Amino acid sequence: MKKITTLLMFSSLLIFGMCKHETTTIINGGNGLTDTTKIVEEPKNDSVCFNTQILPLITASCAQVGCHDANSRVEGLVLNSYTGIKRMGTNTLVTYITKKTGKVMPPLPQPRMDTASINLIKRWIAEGAKERNCNPTSCDTLNVKYTSHIAPIMNTYCKGCHNSNNVGGGVNLDNYADVKTSTLTGKMICTITANGCAIMPKGGPALSTCNVRKIKIWAAANCPQ
Ligand code: HEC
C-alpha cells in the first residue's frame, strides 16, 4: 500500500511537472506566405537567457565597428561573446552602462541603454551571470504588429547601431516609419537572411528562425503598426 501511494505521488508530480499546452495556428500572412505556428508552453523557468536576452543587447550596444568588435578591440575588449563579457567583468559592465557623468558607455552621442535593458542585465548578474542558453519553445506569429512583435526585435538586436545618433549604413531602425521603409524596400529581409546584402546583425549571432519568420509575416501583411 505504501509503495502504491509513493508511486502515485511520484507519477502525479511527473505529470504536473511536464504539463504542456499545445495549439496549432495556421496564419495566412498574404502574398502566399502561409505560416504554421505551434505554440508549446514549457513548464516555466523565468531565469534570464544569455543567448537570447543578454548577448544581443550587449553586442548591439558595445561590439560595434570601431568599438569592442573582434577587429577594433578598443582597450583589448571584445564584447560579442560570453567569454569576452566575463573577461571584462560584470562589475565593469554595470559601472559603465549606469554611470551618469564622465566616461560613460556606450559613449555619447550614442543613446544610453534604456532602463529595461539595464535592469535585465542586473537581473542576469544577480542570478549568477550564467551562460544559460535557451531555445525558444514558442514562436508567436499570431497578429504580428510593430509594437508587440517587431519593435522588441529591433530594440534588442539592431537599435544599438541603427538610431538617429548612429545611422549604420544610413538606416535608422528606432521608429515605426523607418523600420517600415527598410522592410518594404526588401533591405531588411535581405540582410537578416544573408541574401546578398550586408549580413545583419553585424558581427553578432544571426536572428533566430522565429524572429526572421515574424519579420517576413509582418512584411507580407504590409507592416501593421
Ligand atoms: C554592431 C552594429 C550593427 C548591428 C547590431 C546591426 N547593424 Fe545593420 N548595419 C551596420 C552597419 C555598420 C551598416 C553599413 C553596412 C556595413 O558596414 O556592413 C549596416 C547596414 C544595414 C542595412 C543596410 C544594408 C544595405 O545593403 O544597404 C540594413 C537594412 C541593416 N543594417 C539592418 C539591420 C538589422 C535589421 C539589424 C538587426 C537585426 C542590424 N542591422 C543590426 C551595423 C549594425
137-183: per-residue pLDDT in tens?
A: 778 898 999 999 999 999 889 988 899 888 889 999 999 999 999 99
Q: Quick one: average pLDDT of 83-95?
A: 95
pLDDT in tens, 57-68: 898 888 887 899
Distance 126 CA to ligand 1 centre (A): 32
Q: What separation in Å is there between the alpha carbon of 8 and the centre of ligand 1?
A: 56
Which pTM was predicted? 0.71
Per-residue pLDDT at 16: 43
- pLDDT for residue 15: 41
CA distance 171 to 191: 12
Strand ranges for 45-201 from DSSP E = 162-163, 166-167
* Higher per-residue confidence, 8 vs 61: 61
State what percent of residues in the chain have pLDDT above 90.
53
Give residue 44's pLDDT. 59
Residue 56 confidence (pLDDT):
87
Cβ–Cβ under 8 Å, residues 69 and 80: yes
User: Ligand 1 pocket check: which of 78, 162, 175 to mutate, most ligand atoms within 8 Å of Cβ?
Assistant: 162
Question: What per-residue confidence (pLDDT) applies to 34?
Answer: 45
Distance 23 CA to ligand 1 centre (A): 35
Closest residue (by CA) to atom 36 of ligand 1? 158
What's the pLDDT score for residue 140? 85
Confidence tier at 85 by pLDDT (50, 70, 90): very high
How many Å apart are CA 153 and CA 183, to the nearest integer?
A: 13
Number of H helices, E strands in the chain: 9, 4
Q: Tell me what percent of the residues of the chain surpass a pLDDT of 70.
A: 80
Strand partners, 41: 21
Task: Give residue 25's pLDDT.
Answer: 39
Average pLDDT score over residue span 26-40 = 44
Between 203 and 18, residue with greater pLDDT: 203
Residue 104 has pLDDT above 80, yes or no: yes
pLDDT of amino acid 17:
39
Which residues line the pocket of ligand 1, CB cutoff 6 A? 60, 63-65, 157-158, 160-162, 168-169, 171, 173, 182, 187-188, 191-192, 197-198, 200-204, 207
pLDDT surpasses 80 at 32: no
Long-range contacts, 120-125 (Cβ 8 Å, 24+): 120/48, 120/53, 120/54, 120/57, 121/54, 121/57, 121/58, 121/93, 121/94, 121/97, 122/94, 123/48, 124/48, 124/50, 124/53, 124/54, 125/90, 125/94
Among 191, 199, 211, which is best to mutate for testing ligand 1, by the most ligand atoms less than 8 A from CB?
191
- Residue pair 171/74 in contact by the 8 Å Cβ criterion: no
Q: Residue 6 burial by CB count (10 A; 0-12/13-18/19+): exposed, middle or buried?
A: exposed
C-alpha 25 – ligand 1 centre gap (Å): 32
Instruction: Please give the residue that has the higher pLDDT: either 12 or 99.
Output: 99
What is the pLDDT of the chain when averaged over all its residues? 82
